[in-house]
Structures are given as structure tokens and as C-alpha cells.
């Protein structure tokens, strides 16, 4: 499948970094790993990366299982499904490059607004709306986790990680169903995902001692920083 051991090692290392980020923040493995794996070997994206990300999310969700905001998670998922359908419709009707620029710009504005004190109140309507936005942004620009990260930026570390990890798992499940229906998941994708799994385990284990460091006042800056960098990367790719 892949004869070059250097490619395998690079892919595992990238996935380990992404899984470490997810282990500390509850999301982010795809934001970190996708653009780099695309450069190493495009076959790692999207199905193998999503499969490996599903495992990473499950590991984090189990480790932080007692802290999940189940109500918020449920409300966000109510919006995620129609949001994903809307995202597909938007992609079909509008130029992809322009959409990615708009979505990334909105995310950057939201990050800057958060840094100067703006917050989204956690109400049933705002959580459902966050799910809708997440579905659209994930479909259009691969930034599906960013709205939830912004909404939960002030939650305690365990609650944030558990809720966002479960949300990532459910979102990955929806994506995998869509890819399987489209015939995009087969033996090759499963093998490629298997190559990434050692990196997932290493990153997950490495994140354990780092969580308390972030929980001491550094979690919010880390979340906003990751979201901002991911949106900036989308902008750069769109203009390239």
C-alpha cells in the first residue's frame, strides 16, 4: 500500500500531534492533521483521517466521560444534521473558493470578538444555531468544530473536552456514513486509517499530563488560537 517508510513515519507523527491537540482541547485533530497529511499523501484524506479522528474522539470522550454537557450536545446535534444538508446545498449552488473565504473570515471575526469580550450565551436556540453553523462550516470549509469551540470556550476543561469530543465523534459518524454511501470507503481507506492509529494512541497518551497545564487559565487562549490559525490556513489555501 505504502512502500516508503518515511511517508508512514511522517503520517504517524502528524496524527500524533493532531491527537495530542484533541486530547487537550476535545477537538482539533482534523484541523491540525488534514492539511499536512494532504501534502504527505493525499490518500490519507478524507476517509482515513476521519476514521482515525473517530477513534481519537472516542478515546477522549471515554476518558472525560463524566463531564459531558449532554443537554448542550443534544441541542447542537439537532442543528448539525440540517446544517450539514444546508452546507451541501450551498456548495452545489455557490463557488467553493468564495464560500471558503467567507466562512474563514467569519470565524476570524468571531475569534477577534471573543478576545475583546464578546460571548455567545448558552441557550437552547443558540446551541441549535451553533449546530447548524457547524454543519455548514464543516461541509464548506472543514471548520465544523470551530463554532462549538467558540461557544464552549469558557467551560471547564473536562466539560469542554468531553462535550467537544463527543460532538466530534457524532460529526465524524455522519461524515463516514455519507462517504460510505458514496462508495468512498473500502479496503484501501481502512488500511490507510490503520497506519494513522499508532499516532492517535501516542498523541492521546501524551495529552494526559498536559491537560492540567492548559486547565490553569490557558485553555481559552489555546482554543481561540487553534481556531484562528485553522481559519487563517483556509484563507491562505483559498487565495493560493
Q: At 115, list the grid cell.
A: 478576545
CA 217, 220, 226, 232 torsion: positive or negative? negative
Integer Cα distance of 144 and 163 in angstroms: 14
pLDDT-derived band at 237, boundaries 50, 70, 90: confident
Q: What is the CA radius of gyration of the chain?
A: 17
Residue corresponding to grid cell 491540525: 32
Indicate the number of domains in the chain. Answer: 1
For 139, the domain range is 5-239
CA 74, 76, 78, 80 torsion: positive or negative? negative
Statement: residue 225 has pLDDT above 90 = yes
Q: What is the mean pLDDT of residues 87-92?
A: 86
> Could you report the per-residue pLDDT of 194-222, keeping only the tens digit for each?
999 999 999 999 999 999 999 999 999 99
pLDDT-derived band at 1, boundaries 50, 70, 90: low
CA 39, 45, 48, 50 torsion: positive or negative? positive
> Could you report the per-residue pLDDT of 133-175, keeping only the tens digit for each?
999 998 888 899 999 999 999 999 999 999 999 999 999 998 8
Integer Cα distance of 213 and 215 in angstroms: 6
* pLDDT, position 52: 96
Chain-wide mean pLDDT for the chain? Answer: 93
Percent of the chain with pLDDT over 90: 76
The helix/strand/coil state of 136 is helix
Output the DSSP codes for the chain: ----HHHHHHHHHHHHHHHHHHHHHS--HHHHHHHHHHHH-GGGTTHHHHHHHHHHHHHHHHHTGGG--HHHHHHHHHHHHHHHHHHHHHHHHS-HHHHHHHHHHHHHHHHHHHHTT------HHHHHHHHHHHHHHHHHHS-TTHHHHHHTTTS-HHHHHHHHHHHHHHHHHHHHHHHHHTT--SHHHHHHHHHHHHHHHHHHHHHGGGHHHHHTTTHHHHHHHHHHHHHHHHHHHHH-
- The values of phi and psi at residue 71, to 5°, are -65, -50
* pLDDT, position 94: 79
pLDDT-derived band at 124, boundaries 50, 70, 90: very high
Q: Global pTM?
A: 0.92
pLDDT-derived band at 19, boundaries 50, 70, 90: very high
* pLDDT, position 132: 95
* pLDDT, position 158: 96
Inter-residue contact 84 to 134 (CB < 8 Å): no
Q: What is the mean pLDDT of residues 16-37?
A: 95
Amino acid at each position: 500500500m505504502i512502500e516508503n517508510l518515511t511517508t508512514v513515519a511522517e503520517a504517524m507523527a502528524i496524527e500524533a500531534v493532531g491527537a495530542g491537540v484533541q486530547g487537550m482541547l476535545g477537538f482539533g485533530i482534523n484541523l491540525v492533521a488534514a492539511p499536512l497529511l494532504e501534502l504527505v499523501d493525499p490518500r490519507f484524506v478524507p476517509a482515513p483521517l476521519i476514521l482515525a479522528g473517530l477513534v481519537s474522539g472516542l478515546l477522549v470522550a471515554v476518558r472525560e466521560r463524566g463531564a459531558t454537557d449532554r443537554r448542550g450536545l443534544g441541542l447542537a446535534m439537532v442543528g448539525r444534521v440540517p446544517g450539514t444538508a444546508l452546507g451541501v446545498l450551498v456548495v452545489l449552488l455557490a463557488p467553493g473558493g468564495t464560500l471558503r473565504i467567507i466562512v474563514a473570515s467569519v470565524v476570524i471575526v468571531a475569534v477577534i470578538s471573543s478576545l475583546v469580550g464578546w460571548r455567545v450565551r448558552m441557550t437552547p436556540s443558540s446551541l441549535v444555531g451553533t449546530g447548524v453553523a457547524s454543519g455548514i462550516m464543516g461541509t464548506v470549509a472543514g471548520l465544523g468544530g470551530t463554532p462549538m469551540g467558540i461557544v464552549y470556550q469558557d467551560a471547564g476543561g473536562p466539560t469542554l473536552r468531553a462535550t467537544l469530543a463527543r460532538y466530534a465523534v457524532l460529526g465524524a459518524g455522519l461524515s463516514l456514513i455519507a462517504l460510505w454511501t458514496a462508495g468512498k470507503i473500502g479496503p484501501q481507506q481502512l488500511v490507510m486509517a490503520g497506519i494513522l492509529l499508532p499516532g492517535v494512541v501516542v498523541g492521546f497518551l501524551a495529552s494526559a499530563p498536559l491537560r492540567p497545564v492548559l486547565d490553569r487559565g490557558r485553555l481559552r487562549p489555546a482554543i481561540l488560537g487553534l481556531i484562528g490559525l485553522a481559519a487563517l490556513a483556509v484563507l491562505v489555501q483559498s487565495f493560493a
